[in-house]
Amino acid sequence: MSAPSVITIDGPAGAGKSTLGELLARRLGYLFFDTGVMYRALAWAVLRSAIDPENSEAVAALARDLDIQVLPPGDATDGRPYTVLVDGVDVTWELRRPDVERIVSIAARHPAARAIMRERQRAIGRRGQVVMVGRDIGSIVMPDAPLKIYLDASIDERARRRTLEIQQRGGSADLQHIRNDIIRRDSLDRHVSAPAADACVIFSDGLSPEQVVDLVIAHIDDGDGLQDSHAYDRAQNPGSAGT
Ligand code: DC
């Protein structure tokens, strides 16, 4: 089977979406597009302009005028998967700053700002040969995408991975603090985080990034091996009358 032209990967913070997206895109020769960086860029601009991240009109106006470019890493030797320019300024690493992290879910919550971001994401998705990573890509941004993955993992596993990731970048990270932050972000992001009805679900506890990629590639080749999201909904909410 030939690879689907658009693959979406959604799921909660720290589930390993970006790692899977990067590896998958590399294997398929596709563009890797992490839509979270657009919301992070917006949050960075909110801080730069000193506007209130809760102010939906001000955040939407900012989003409308913001020039966000996500480019290949080029000659950069600092391990970046891409370069992000906001109004021409290289903010690639600044988007990982704790102050950006603190407000990004708030800045990303406003429907008008989201509509602007989604339209820009769609324009990139429509070009095809792309792996798009986010929260609402399969459900809302690209609902016709031929392959939708929903990647999940337990809170403990996600906290452990995030801690390791920060430490590997030379930062200091406290596991309990990161765990609490993941719980906080889960509740803030919940409004956009439901899996698409036809998403394939991967629960990645105990799986290495390569094993997850192999699962997806096997699914592309054979068309099986992954759980459908209805089964997942029922597993997560055993009391619900899911169909
Ligand atoms: O995946 P991430 O941690 O880089 O995402 C940053 C924030 O943006 C997070 O609060 C969720 C939000 N986000 C979103 O609302 N919709 C997306 N498609 C991607 C990210």
Pocket test for ligand 1, best of 68, 114, 116, 135 (most atoms within 8 A of CB): 135
Question: Cβ(104) to ligand 1 under 6 A?
Answer: yes
Domain boundary among the residues 94, 128, 162 is at 128
Which residues are paired to 130 by β-bridges?
6, 31
Atom of ligand 1 nearest to the CA of 136: 18
148 and 71 together in one domain: no
Ligand 1: which residue has its CA nearest to atom 4?
A: 36
Which of 128, 143, 174 is the C-terminal boundary of a domain? Answer: 128
What is the rounded CA–CA span in Å between residue 142 and residue 95? 25
What would the pLDDT profile of 14-73 be if each residue is shown by its tens digit? 899 999 999 999 999 999 999 999 999 999 999 999 999 999 999 999 999 999 998 888
Decide whether any atom of ligand 1 lies within 6 Å of the 135 Cβ.
yes
Our answer on whether the CB atom of 10 is closer than 6 Å to any ligand 1 atom is: no
239 or 218: which carries more pLDDT confidence?
A: 218
Q: What pLDDT does 243 receive? A: 31
Residue 239 and residue 136 in one domain: yes
Higher pLDDT, 66 or 240: 66
Tokens, residue 86: 């906001």
Residue 105 in contact with ligand 1 by CB distance below 6 A: yes
Residues 121 and 232 in one domain: no
Are residues 135 and 242 both part of a single domain? yes
Q: Over 90: is that where the pLDDT of 109 sits?
A: yes
* Amino acid in the structure at residue 45: A
Domain containing residue 231 = 1-30+129-243
* pLDDT recorded at residue 242: 33
Does one domain contain both 62 and 171? no
Last residue of a domain, one of 128, 158, 177: 128
Residue 195 near residue 229 (C-beta atoms within 8 A): yes
Shared domain check, 98 and 17:
no
Residues 186 and 124 in one domain: no
* Distance in angstroms (rounded) separating the CA atoms of residues 6 and 25: 10
The answer to whether the CB of 8 is under 6 A from ligand 1 is: no
- Residues 41, 26 share a domain: no
Query: Is the beta carbon of 39 within 6 A of some atom in ligand 1?
Result: yes
Spatial distance between the Cα atoms of 20 and 36, rounded to a whole number of angstroms: 14
For the Cβ of 134 lying below 6 angstroms from any atom of ligand 1, the answer is yes
**pTM, rounded to two decimals:** 0.89
Contact indicator for 67, 45 with CB cutoff of 8 Å: no
Residues 44 and 23 in one domain: no
Q: Whose CA is nearest to atom 1 of ligand 1?
A: 36
103 and 146 housed in the same domain: no
Split into its structural domains, the chain has a count of 2
The CATH number that applies at residue 232 is 3.40.50.300
Dihedral sign from CA coordinates of 134, 139, 145, 146: positive
CA of 105 to the centre of ligand 1 (A): 7
Distance separating alpha carbons of residues 93 and 156, to the nearest angstrom? 25
Domain match, 24 and 133 both: yes
Alpha-carbon dihedral of residues 73, 169, 14, 125, nearest 10 degrees? Answer: 0
Give the Å distance between the CA of 190 and the centre of ligand 1.
Answer: 11
Residues with Cβ within 8 Å of 32's Cβ and at least 6 positions away in sequence, in order, are 21, 22, 24, 25, 26, 81, 82, 130, 131, 133
Cα 222 to averaged position of ligand 1 atoms, centre (Å) = 31
The alpha carbon of 138 and the centre of ligand 1 are apart by a number of angstroms equal to 14
Residues 99 and 200 in one domain: no
